[in-house]
């Protein structure tokens, strides 16, 4: 005899044994790159129990509908051209809400510990003696590439992958990065926040001897219905991106894994009937 599952018993079984959100705690939770199907059970478990949710831009707001009614929901990102709250103010807000005895969910885009300042917020909590938990999320550099049909690694192409940010705290190109070493040592480079300086970044990679014809792509609004992918090569990607008018949030990928998209663009296949090839690395006739 098979057990009959109702939607209630499903959710009971799904969430059974997952941690209980204690009052006065802060949970830093990764919300994934956009598509709410990429949330983890831990993330939904947190949303269902929270008394206060402080969320960033880049988080799909429909996921807030899993929350209990009448809880406090605060937006902590940039909106309508207005600057985002200062990082320190967000941390202080989390501390204040936790000290009020609330279950505070800090919901962040992607993964909290990948270019997400999750570490800074968590250390602020440590300093204020607020207990916390961290839930990883699918980072844009992994989930976004997958939705573009670009594998972060492929055995015939690369045995390593580098994640980097295209700008530092001041908004400039990160000085701390040794671009020459990256060009020489990184087989595949996945760049976050690189749109602003894409021209200078690609110039530095080329100057350090990187192949101008190597594959490169820009993926905007990855995993959302507005996803747009531009495929080019290293020497042309910056100019083509400027011409295309594509805007952040975007990832830029440099490496021949980009060529795999001809075979692996599963989303293009599923939604637009795109024809895929089983030999994407074979030179075109």
Residues 53-72, mask of contacts with ligand SAH (x by CB under 6 A)? -----x--------------
C-alpha–C-alpha distance, residues 132 and 123, integer Å:
10
DSSP string of 140-180? HHHHHHHHTT--S--TTT-S--EEEES--TTSSPPTTS-HH
> Which residues make beta-bridge pairs with 104?
26, 52
Q: Catalytic annotation on 193?
A: yes
- Binding window for ligand SAH (CB under 6 A); candidates: 36-44, 69-77, 148-156, 242-250: 242-250
Cα(242)–Cα(283) distance, rounded to whole angstroms? Answer: 28
> Active site residue: 108, 111, 191, 193, which one?
193
Q: 158 and 257 in contact (C-beta within 8 Å)? A: yes
Q: Which of residues 35-54 bind ligand SAH (CB under 6 A)?
A: none
Type and span of the H or E element at 250:
strand 250-254
At its nearest, how many Å lie between ligand SAH and the CB of residue 77?
Answer: 10
b (16+ CB within 10 A) / e for 232-252? bbbbebbeebeeeebeebbbb
Q: Which is nearer to ligand SAH, 19 or 77 (CB)?
A: 77
Non-local CB neighbours of 281 within 8 Å, separated by 6+ positions: 156, 157, 256, 259, 260
1 is catalytic: no
Q: Which residue, 130 or 191, has its beta carbon nearer to ligand SAH?
A: 191
Q: Is 24 in the site for ligand SAH (CB under 6 A)?
A: no
Record the tokens describing residue 44, joined without a space: 């939904």
Which of 51, 227 has the CB closer to ligand SAH? 227
Work out whether 263 is an interface residue with ligand SAH (CB under 6 A). Answer: no
List of residues 6+ apart from 9 with CB closer than 8 A: none
Q: How far apart are CA 16 and CA 45, in angstroms?
A: 10
Nearest residue (CB) to ligand SAH, 84 versus 158: 84
Can 56 be counted among the known catalytic residues? yes
Q: Which of 60, 111, 233, 265 binds ligand SAH (CB under 6 A)?
A: 111
**Does residue 136 bind ligand SAH (CB under 6 A)?**
no
Q: Using CB under 6 A, which of 25, 28, 34, 256 touches ligand SAH? A: 34
- Where would I find the beta strands (DSSP E) of 93-247? 104-108, 132-135, 162-165, 189-192, 215-220, 228-233
- In the complex with ligand SAH, the residue whose CB is nearer, 38 or 102, is 38
Smallest distance from ligand SAH to CB 154, Å: 21
Which residue in 49, 91, 202, 221 binds ligand SAH (CB under 6 A)?
221
Indicate the residue whose CB is closest to ligand SAH. Answer: 110
Q: Which of 122, 219, 230, 238 binds ligand SAH (CB under 6 A)?
A: 219
CB 28 to ligand SAH: min, Å: 11
Site residues (CB under 6 A) for ligand SAH? Answer: 33-34, 58, 108-111, 114-116, 139-140, 144, 192-193, 219-224, 248-251
Among all residues, which ones are annotated catalytic?
A: 56, 78, 193
């Amino acid at each position: 005899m098979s057990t009959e599952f109702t939607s209630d018993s499903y959710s009971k079984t799904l969430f059974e044994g997952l941690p209980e959100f204690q009052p006065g705690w802060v949970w830093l939770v990764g919300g994934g790159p956009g598509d709410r199907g990429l949330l983890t059970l831990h993330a939904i478990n947190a949303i269902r129990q929270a008394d206060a949710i402080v969320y960033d831009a880049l988080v799909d707001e429909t996921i807030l509908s899993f929350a209990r009614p009448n809880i406090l929901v605060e937006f902590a990102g940039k909106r309508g051209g207005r600057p985002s709250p200062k990082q320190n103010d967000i941390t202080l807000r989390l501390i204040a809400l936790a000290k009020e005895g609330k279950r505070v969910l800090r919901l962040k885009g992607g993964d909290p510990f990948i270019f997400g300042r999750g570490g800074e917020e968590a250390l602020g909590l440590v300093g204020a003696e607020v207990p916390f938990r961290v839930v990883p999320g699918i980072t844009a550099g992994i989930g976004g590439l997958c939705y573009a049909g670009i594998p972060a690694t492929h055995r015939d192409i690369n045995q390593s992958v580098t994640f980097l940010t295209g700008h530092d705290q001041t908004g400039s190109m990160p000085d701390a990065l040794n671009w020459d070493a990256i060009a020489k040592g990184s087989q595949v480079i996945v760049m976050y926040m690189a749109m602003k300086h894409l021209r200078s970044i690609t110039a530095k990679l080329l100057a350090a001897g990187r192949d101008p014809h190597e594959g490169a792509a820009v993926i905007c609004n990855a995993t959302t219905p507005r996803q747009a992918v531009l495929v080019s090569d290293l020497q042309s990607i910056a100019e083509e991106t400027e011409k295309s008018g594509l805007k952040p949030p975007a990832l830029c990928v440099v490496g021949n894994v980009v060529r795999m998209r001809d075979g692996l663009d599963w989303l293009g296949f599923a939604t637009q009937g795109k024809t895929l090839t089983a030999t994407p690395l074979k030179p075109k006739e």
